Amino acid sequence: MTVSISNTLGGQREPFAPLDGTHVKMYVCGMTPKREPHIGHARLFVAMDMIRRYLTYCGYEVEHVQNITDVDDKIIAAAEREGITADAVAQKYTDAYDAVMGRLNVLRAHVFPKVTETLPQIIAMIEGLIEREAAYVAEEAVYFSVPGFAAYGALSTRSEDSGIQAGASGRVDDEPGKRDPRDFALWKPAKPGEPWWSSPWGQGRPGWHIECSTMIYETLGARIDIHGGGADLIFPHHENEIAQSEAYTGEQPFAKYWLHTGLLTIDGQKMAHSLGNFITIEDILESYSGPVLRLYLLSVHYRSPLTYTPESLEQARAGMARLTGALRAQAGGAGSADEQLTQAAQRAEAGFFDAMNSDFNSAGALGQLYELVRDINRLSADAQPAALESAQGTLVSLADVLGIDLQEVLEAELAGGDGDASGFIDLLVELRADLRKEKQFALADKVRDELAALGILLEDSPSGTEWRRKA
């Protein structure tokens, strides 16, 4: 059974076969660090992380590069707004990104190229494109010549006479010397006060698209296996990348598999900084743990649109409590259910990998985990410790493939939190046990209720009382 991938290029699901054996070159269009990352960003990066982890699990060596667009109109605007330099803005929000991705258990890319550190290479690539007559120097800027690139529109399935010209109209006036409405800037002049770099075409900065082509060429080479990004980047950004890269290297396909995540919407609209309707990842993490947010994002197939609602996060929290709950199950039997448990674990494992092999269907894979949870809870009383622990081990290791560390979440439920109040909680639990012995149930229940209000959940069992924190 091999992994199959839905490829935006071609619109088909295809078996995954890297260009070079088991080596996978993966590039993800990263952040423009201009504001705090929001949960739409989280969706992309968690999805790509899940894919990277799964491929790695399958034995591939994934080389992951993710750019940082630290030069951009919005960054310049943010610098003015915040009264700091553009560099400082980029650094501030790059740090914000790092902090939050760590909590979501997103593995760091192996390389994070920045535009500001790639200028000579970008200029060299533009020069190369001009030499190849794929680009031309206009009055103020350098443009890529789209009419010279026959395959233009293949990714976004747009033809010249469909929407591209109509959409580009109105921009032509602002760009003197541009020959075709579809042509796009590789280099543009700096306006007064903007950051700039010297180039053969004067002081200016790169266009948006060229950076990715250059960074990929410099870090991964002429051709890569996987190129990922949000669905909103298909056109024009990724279309333009293909044109630049293939025109420059003469090799194609530039990227073998194009993976795009469905956009996250809120109140019927795409979540975006520019629309002002965003919820930052940090905001969510005030109320929910990283693993819960990650679970939420993986509960929907990465290509589907995802509508954010507060309720869906509550559902994810409940789901997480269910997953860790199965880890707290105790073996209580002589082993009459051992065989059933073993089979349940095998069934879940097989279903899990079937789902994951089908275009990284994390939602379907999670469904298998929940089934295993039910079987563990149902059968634990009649199982021996070894069989139960084995099934629980399967649950933990499958969740781990998705980047969800159930052991860690469980430990956080049992201890963790700010400061360590465990001693005091244990004391209250003991006192309550005494009250219960004295049949002072009103007081005992008060202790329980008050603790619950503080997020500490008590569960009585014949063997005593256990407590945990709300996920």
Partner RNA sequence: GGCGACGUAGCCAAGUGGUAAGGCGAGGGUCUGCAAAACCCUUAUACAGCGGUUCGAUUCCGCUCGUCGCCUCCA
Exactly one of 111, 154, 421, 457 binds RNA (CB under 7 A); that residue is 457
Taking CB under 7 A as the criterion, which residues in 41-70 touch RNA?
Answer: 41, 43-44, 69
Q: Is 188 in the site for RNA (CB under 7 A)?
A: no
Closest CA to 29 of 244, 165, 215, 276: 215
CB of 203 to RNA, least distance (A): 20
Exactly one of 85, 198, 203, 269 binds RNA (CB under 7 A); that residue is 269
Q: Which stretch binds RNA (CB under 7 A): 124-132, 144-152, 157-165, 247-255?
A: 157-165
Question: In this complex, which beta carbon is closest to RNA, that of residue 223 or of residue 448?
Answer: 448
CB of 98 to RNA, least distance (A): 15
CB of 250 to RNA, least distance (A): 26
CB of 365 to RNA, least distance (A): 8
364 Cβ partners below 8 Å, 6+ apart? 301, 351, 354, 355, 358
Question: In this complex, which beta carbon is closest to RNA, that of residue 108 or of residue 171?
Answer: 171
Q: Which stretch binds RNA (CB under 7 A): 136-144, 261-269, 280-288, 397-405?
A: 261-269
> Is 207:183 a contact under the CB 8 Å cutoff?
no
Exactly one of 274, 330, 336, 397 binds RNA (CB under 7 A); that residue is 274
Taking CB under 7 A as the criterion, which residues in 325-344 touch RNA?
Answer: 325, 328
Taking CB under 7 A as the criterion, which residues in 24-43 touch RNA?
Answer: 29-32, 40-41, 43
Count, residues near RNA per rule CB under 7 A: 90
CB of 416 to RNA, least distance (A): 19
Q: What's CA 295's distance to the chain center, in Å?
A: 11
Exactly one of 25, 114, 256, 273 binds RNA (CB under 7 A); that residue is 273
Q: Which stretch binds RNA (CB under 7 A): 16-24, 83-91, 223-231, 398-406?
A: 223-231
Q: Which stretch binds RNA (CB under 7 A): 54-62, 120-128, 359-367, 382-390?
A: 359-367
Q: Is 287 in the site for RNA (CB under 7 A)?
A: no
Q: Is 147 in the site for RNA (CB under 7 A)?
A: no
Question: In this complex, which beta carbon is closest to RNA, that of residue 21 or of residue 310?
Answer: 310
Tell me if the bond preceding 181 is cis, omega within 30° of 0. Answer: no
Question: In this complex, which beta carbon is closest to RNA, that of residue 170 or of residue 419?
Answer: 170
CB of 91 to RNA, least distance (A): 17
Exactly one of 7, 145, 156, 280 binds RNA (CB under 7 A); that residue is 156
Closest CA to 409 of 388, 423, 395, 425: 395
Q: Which stretch binds RNA (CB under 7 A): 23-31, 118-126, 188-196, 400-408?
A: 23-31
Q: Is 310 in the site for RNA (CB under 7 A)?
A: no
Cα torsion angle, 290, 294, 295, 297, sign? positive
Q: Is 151 in the site for RNA (CB under 7 A)?
A: no
Exactly one of 10, 148, 333, 367 binds RNA (CB under 7 A); that residue is 367
Taking CB under 7 A as the criterion, which residues in 394-453 touch RNA?
Answer: 436, 441-442, 444-445, 448
Taking CB under 7 A as the criterion, which residues in 111-140 touch RNA?
Answer: none
> Is 90:50 a contact under the CB 8 Å cutoff?
no
Exactly one of 87, 127, 349, 371 binds RNA (CB under 7 A); that residue is 371
CB of 345 to RNA, least distance (A): 15
Taking CB under 7 A as the criterion, which residues in 65-94 touch RNA?
Answer: 69, 72-74
Cα 469 to Cα 454: distance, rounded to the nearest angstrom: 9
Taking CB under 7 A as the criterion, which residues in 191-220 touch RNA?
Answer: 208
CB of 176 to RNA, least distance (A): 17
Exactly one of 237, 256, 294, 469 binds RNA (CB under 7 A); that residue is 237
